[in-house]
Structure 1
Amino acid sequence: MVSSCAHLCQRCTSLLRFRITWQSVTHVQLCTAAIKASVKLPYESSLIPENNTTARTRQRWKQQICYYSDLTAKHLTPEATGNKDKELLRSEVVTYESPVTQIRDAESQITLDLDAADELLALEEFSDEEAVGVSVSSAVPPASFSLRAYVDKSETLSKLVQLGVNLWKLEQRPNVGSMLLKLDFQTDVAPRLLFLKEIGVEDSRLGYIVSHNPFILTESLENLQARVVYLRSKKFSAESVASMVSRAPYLLNFSVKRLDNRLSFYQQQLSLSASNTRNVVARLPRLLCGSLEPIKENLKVCKIELGFKENEIQHIVVAVPKVLTANKKKLTQTFDFLHNVMKVPHHLIAKFPQVLNSKYLRLKERHQFLEYLGKALYDPAEPNYISLDRLVSLPDDAFCTELASATLEDFYLFQKTL
């Protein structure tokens, strides 16, 4: 029986000498069948009756042999298999050796070979060509909810922070953060900042402009130059252009055609001269940037609801351009108090239009205090009349001493009774 087992083991070892590859699964199956046959003979002999222990042992050997077959097909390459066959089968034994022992020896050899291969790969030297091709992961975070995470890695963001740009405002606007990260400071940002300085914008205003209008960094220099040239052709002074750009950051983002249409609109709607139109726009440059609908609405309110004449509206707009962009409710509330409570006629309101731009609560408290003192006189024909301009422009202490002839404490005590 021992000689038969040894004979079959020799057959198994001869089969293992074949090169095992991923495509040659048939060789592994033949090897497994031969080993199964060698293990099966001792227990299938009629000399030894089979019991439960024998069945369990045979089942355990079958599982180990199947595991060895799968492990061999999974890990061994053709080159490693050939070398391993030479080492394992260096000497053939005639005596009987347990197949389980052979499997354990093969498994330990596989582990040693794989560890050696990993060690060689870790110590392998790279050539110059291979080193150039190695990709290194960027230190910039792939995604973030805040631009603060990119400031140290982006030259553009770090320079904008030094200029005083409020990144926390920009990151709240959709797609602006991604746009800024794609810009190169030397080629995209610096030329536009230098252009703004060349037209007269102060350094302290550059951060304000970019914070409110980051898209100016993506406008072409040719378009920016063309819009400045147009404003200068309309006889806006260089100082006026610089001031307009500083206070209305979106001004240079609009085309020459749109700027021309806006100037024509104000000149025609208000029947203003070219000089007065420039004066109004230079003092409130956002008139060229915002929507025209609120302005048209306020003009209708002044003419229809408030009852001002066209020449009075012209005078009001030239003196206080903010009336065109004022809140409609606030404008009507202030006029109603002036005209119906204080009994101020239209021509006096048009003569002192600053009162329409004053705070309603300040106007109300001061009028009631003067009325309590018996000094609420607003007609220039009356003696000791009080000018509407001074009524709303003077600070509290000057108002009390110059107009009300009272102390500041008296005015504060009166305010508590309202």
Structure 2
Amino acid sequence: MMAPGCLLLCLRCRNLLGSRISTQHLSLLVQSCAAPLPSGNPTGTRRIQMCYYSSAKHLEVLTSATDFVSNKSCVLQGPKQAIDLDDNVELSALEEIDDEEAVRISVPTALPPSSTSLKDYVDKSETLSKLVQLGVNLWKLEQRPNVGSMLLRLDYETDVATKLLFLKDIGVEDSCLGYIISRNPFILTQSLENLNTRVNYLKSKKFSQDTVASMVSRAPYLLSFSVKRLDNRMAFYQQQLNLSVANTRNVVSRLPRLLCGSLEPVKENLKVCEIELGFKKNEIQHIVLAVPKVLTANKKKLIQIFDFLHNTMKVPHHLIVKFPQVLNTKYLRVKERHLFLEYLEKAQYDPTQPNYIALDSLISLPDETFCSELASAKLEDFCLFQKTL
């Protein structure tokens, strides 16, 4: 009968060496270890040397065993070459180690296998933890399909840090980095070559570096579009509004999302201004140059405020064109102030008449100044009147 300690040692060596020791060689080791035990030293402790010969690699493992181990060495003849098990062999999960070795073992922190929230990964992912420090809103990003898994696959040094340095190099402020990535996380997947090409295109159109940085900060998707698309958008606004190159650049720089969003709402608003509101093309051009947001305004709100200005307040087209900011103000603000002036019999918007009230003053002044300078009333009276509407 084979000594139990020797058999255990053979099996442990098989675990250590894995596929590098065949079943045939293991059988030879077991047979050697099964030799009859001598009667002289049945309880002695010996170091057993096992040599395994392979045409590809020669291995030698030194280990120890106790309890009924023979003085006879279990040897397979062949050339021998010592190896370091720590470097070449993975230890079995059942291998016993001392406390000192256990302290030296580094165990990587595993990511949760699945989760409905990115917050469960922040402490375990360098990329997510760094993005949180930048002010990125992970809660908004995880609501978007596939964005969370995309962020977890990104390497911070190669995918994230390089893009952040690029944005800083073109002049983007540190405080804007979190906002940009929160709105457009896909910028982290763009190649630096493509990002450089798009920035160089904007500079070729005479946008200054400060302007480019401002445009990217306010329109995070700007650098996600190809040069061809950006160029087509620039040409569209220049042709539709009959603008010069300088004026086109002025409009786009003040509202850079014109280069990112859909053109359908813009085309719709241009038709509304010309057909439904009755503005001439040169008047529309003047309005857009003063207030580019008119191009992307909600169509219903645009019609609502024009209808109140033109049909209720009796303001003609040319005065609206002179003060186009009124089209970009809140409808309720205009309505409340006009009705209060009308109640006081001071609603006079004709510049040829006495006590004329300019539209820009009507909408831009704070409530207290509006009451004291235009309505000649107390703020408390205006607040009480608002409650009656």
Q: TM-score, normalised by structure 2?
A: 0.74
Provide the residue aligned with 1:338 in structure 2.
309
Alpha-carbon distance in 1 for matches of 2:91, 2:232: 57
The residue type equivalent to 2:89 in the other structure is: E
Alpha-carbon distance in 2 for matches of 1:357, 1:285: 17
Q: What are structure 2's unaligned runs of at least 5 residues?
A: 1-29, 35-66, 68-83, 94-105
| Cα deviation code 1:307-328 (max 9, x no counterpart) | 0001100010000011000011
Alpha-carbon distance in 2 for matches of 1:204, 1:239: 15
Alpha-carbon distance in 2 for matches of 1:136, 1:405: 76
Superposition deviation, residue 139 in structure 1: 1.7
Alpha-carbon distance in 2 for matches of 1:300, 1:132: 75
Provide the residue aligned with 2:253 in structure 1.
282
The residue type equivalent to 1:213 in the other structure is: N
Alpha-carbon distance in 2 for matches of 1:206, 1:240: 16
Q: Post-superposition, which runs of at least 4 consecutive aligned residues in structure 1 deviate over 4 A? A: 132-138
Alpha-carbon distance in 2 for matches of 1:414, 1:143: 57
2:205 corresponds, among 229, 234, 241, to 234
Question: Is the 8 Å Cα contact of residues 109 and 124 (structure 2) preserved in structure 1?
Answer: no
Alpha-carbon distance in 2 for matches of 1:345, 1:133: 88
After TM superposition, list the pairs within 5 Å mapping 1:159-178 onto structure 2.
Answer: 159-178=130-149
Question: Is the 8 Å Cα contact of residues 349 and 357 (structure 2) preserved in structure 1?
Answer: yes
1:325 corresponds, among 280, 296, 302, to 296
| Cα deviation code 1:74-133 (max 9, x no counterpart) | xxxxx89xx9xxxxxxxxxxxxxxxxxxxxxxxxxxxxxxxx9xxxxxxxxx93232279
Q: Residues 217 and 393 from structure 1, CA distance in 2 versus in 1: closer, same or farther, beyond 3 angstroms? A: same
The residue type equivalent to 2:161 in the other structure is: A
Alpha-carbon distance in 2 for matches of 1:152, 1:341: 60
Q: TM-score, normalised by structure 1?
A: 0.69
1:130 corresponds, among 60, 84, 89, to 89
Alpha-carbon distance in 2 for matches of 1:379, 1:349: 12
Q: Which secondary structure does the structure 1 equivalent of 2:89 belong to?
A: helix
Provide the residue aligned with 2:177 in structure 1.
206
Superposition deviation, residue 137 in structure 1: 7.9
Matched, 1:251 2:210: no
1:315 corresponds, among 269, 274, 286, to 286
Alpha-carbon distance in 2 for matches of 1:212, 1:133: 48
| Cα deviation code 1:46-78 (max 9, x no counterpart) | xxxxxxxxxxxxxxxxxxxxxxxxxxxxxxxxx
Matched, 1:291 2:249: no
Alpha-carbon distance in 1 for matches of 2:273, 2:321: 11
Alpha-carbon distance in 2 for matches of 1:331, 1:133: 73
**Bigger CA radius of gyration:** 1
* Larger helix percent: 1
Alpha-carbon distance in 2 for matches of 1:212, 1:340: 40
Question: Is the 8 Å Cα contact of residues 288 and 295 (structure 2) preserved in structure 1?
Answer: yes
Matched, 1:374 2:332: no
Question: Is the 8 Å Cα contact of residues 273 and 279 (structure 2) preserved in structure 1?
Answer: yes
Alpha-carbon distance in 2 for matches of 1:335, 1:132: 79
Matched, 1:402 2:377: no
Q: What are structure 1's unaligned runs of at least 5 residues?
A: 1-78, 84-115, 117-125
Q: Residues 311 and 133 from structure 1, CA distance in 2 versus in 1: closer, same or farther, beyond 3 angstroms? A: farther
Alpha-carbon distance in 1 for matches of 2:386, 2:134: 45
Work out the percentage of aligned pairs sharing the same amino acid: 78
Alpha-carbon distance in 2 for matches of 1:267, 1:367: 37
- RMSD after superposition: 2.1
The residue type equivalent to 2:321 in the other structure is: A
Superposition deviation, residue 202 in structure 1: 0.2
Alpha-carbon distance in 2 for matches of 1:415, 1:180: 49
The residue type equivalent to 2:294 in the other structure is: V
Provide the residue aligned with 2:325 in structure 1.
354
After TM superposition, list the pairs within 5 Å mapping 1:32-43 onto structure 2.
Answer: none
Alpha-carbon distance in 1 for matches of 2:108, 2:202: 49
Provide the residue aligned with 1:224 in structure 2.
195
Alpha-carbon distance in 1 for matches of 2:251, 2:218: 14
| Cα deviation code 1:191-238 (max 9, x no counterpart) | 110010011100000000000100000100011001010001101111
Q: Which secondary structure does the structure 2 equivalent of 1:131 belong to?
A: coil
Q: How many residues align?
A: 299
Superposition deviation, residue 380 in structure 1: 1.1
Q: Residues 384 and 133 from structure 1, CA distance in 2 versus in 1: closer, same or farther, beyond 3 angstroms? A: farther
Provide the residue aligned with 1:4 in structure 2.
none
Alpha-carbon distance in 2 for matches of 1:197, 1:247: 15
Q: Residues 184 and 345 from structure 1, CA distance in 2 versus in 1: closer, same or farther, beyond 3 angstroms? A: same
Q: Residues 158 and 133 from structure 1, CA distance in 2 versus in 1: closer, same or farther, beyond 3 angstroms? A: farther
Q: Residues 137 and 207 from structure 1, CA distance in 2 versus in 1: closer, same or farther, beyond 3 angstroms? A: closer
Q: Residues 176 and 244 from structure 1, CA distance in 2 versus in 1: closer, same or farther, beyond 3 angstroms? A: same
Provide the residue aligned with 1:386 in structure 2.
357
The residue type equivalent to 1:261 in the other structure is: N
| Cα deviation code 1:398-418 (max 9, x no counterpart) | 100111111101111111222
Alpha-carbon distance in 1 for matches of 2:318, 2:357: 16
